[in-house]
Amino acid sequence: NAGVTQTPKFRILKIGQSMTLQCAQDMNHNYMYWYRQDPGMGLKLIYYSVGAGITDKGEVPNGYNVSRSTTEDFPLRLELAAPSQTSVYFCASSWRDTKLAKNIQYFGAGTRLSVL
Amino acid sequence: ELKVEQNPLFLSMQEGKNYTIYCNYSTTSDRLYWYRQDPGKSLESLFVLLSNGAVKQEGRLMASLDTKARLSTLHITAAVHDLSATYFCAVDAQGAQKLVFGQGTRLTINP
C-alpha cells in the first residue's frame, strides 16, 4: 500500500545543476500535482496533470518542467538550479470524482532540496 | 483569481482550551478541504466539506462550511498536545481541476 512515492528524500544541488524529482502513485489516480513549500509557508502549485499526456502550469512554473507519459509517474525536472528553488517539494495525486466533484489529494513524503 | 486566507497564522494555546481557526475564500465554491501537517512531514487529509452547512467531526476537531459567507471553520475542543500541527484549508473552485491552499495555521498546544 505505497500510495504516493517521492524520490529522493533529500538532495543538495550546486547552482546551475539539473535534476529530476521522481513521483509515482499506485492508486490509479488520474490527477497529479507538484507543489513547493517554502519554510513556514503554504503550498504553491508548480504544475499539474489531469491524465497521461496532459500537463498544465500552476502558480509558479518558471524554472521547472514536467511530463506525464504514464498514469503512474509524474517527474519534475529542474533545469539550471537556482538558490530560489531551495524548498520542500511535494507530489500529490487524486481521483477526481465527477459525480460528487471531490478532489481529495494524497501527498507524498516530500523532497527536501537545497541549492547552494 | 481565487484567494484563500486563514487566520490566525499562529496560535499557541493551553491544553483543555477551545479555539477556532478561520478560512475565508474569495470566489464561489462549495467544496472545501482541511489538511494537517506535522513538522517535517507530509500533508494528511482531515475533512472534506461538500455543501453549504456541511459539518464534519473527528475526535476533538469539527469543521463546518458556510458557502454564502465563503467561510469555513475548524473548531478545536479541549485541546490536547497531540493536536499540535499546521492546519491548512484548501478550496476547489467550481469546475477547476486544482486546489488553492491557505497559508496554514501553526497550532502549538502547551501542556
3-state secondary structure chain B: CCCEEEECCEEEEECCCCEEEEEEECCCCCCEEEEEECCCCCEEEEEEECCCCCEEEECCEEEEEECCCCEEEEEECCCCHHHCEEEEEEEECCCCCCEEECCCEEEEEEC
Residue B96: is its pLDDT beyond 70? no
Q: Do B31 and A102 touch (CB under 8 A)?
A: yes
Residue A114: predicted pLDDT:
96
Cβ contacts (< 8 Å) between A40 and chain B: which residues?
A: 106
Q: Cell for B33? A: 478541504
Residue A82: predicted pLDDT:
96
**pLDDT category of residue B31 using cuts at 50, 70 and 90:** confident
Residue A10: predicted pLDDT:
96
> Chain-centre distance of CA A24, in angstroms?
10
Write out pLDDT tens, residues A26-38.
Answer: 999 999 999 999 9
Q: Do B99 and A105 touch (CB under 8 A)?
A: yes
Averaged pLDDT of chain B: 92
Task: Count CA atoms closer than 13 A to A74's CA, side-chain side.
Answer: 33
Q: What average pLDDT does range A11-17 have in this prediction? A: 97
Separation CA A92–CA A29 (nearest Å): 10
Q: How many CB atoms lie within 10 A of CB A6?
A: 22
**pLDDT category of residue A1 using cuts at 50, 70 and 90:** low
β pairing state of A111-115 and A10-13: parallel
Q: Do A42 and B33 touch (CB under 8 A)?
A: no
- Pick from B81, B66, B83, B80: nearest CA to B22: B66
Does any CB of chain A come closer than 8 Å to the CB of residue B98?
yes
Averaged pLDDT of chain A: 92
Q: Do A43 and B88 touch (CB under 8 A)?
A: yes
CA of A41 vs chain B CAs: smallest distance (Å): 6
Q: Cell for B58? A: 473527528
The beta-carbon neighbor of B97 closest among A48, A102, A104 is A48
- Cis status, amide bond into B8, omega within 30 of 0: yes
* Mutation site for B-interface testing, chosen from A94, A104, A106, A112 by largest number of B Cβ within 10 Å: A104
Using CA coordinates, name the residue in chain B closest to A97: B97
Q: Do B45 and A104 touch (CB under 8 A)?
A: yes
The torsion angles phi and psi of A84, rounded to 5 degrees, stand at: -65, -15
Does any CB of chain A come closer than 8 Å to the CB of residue B42?
yes
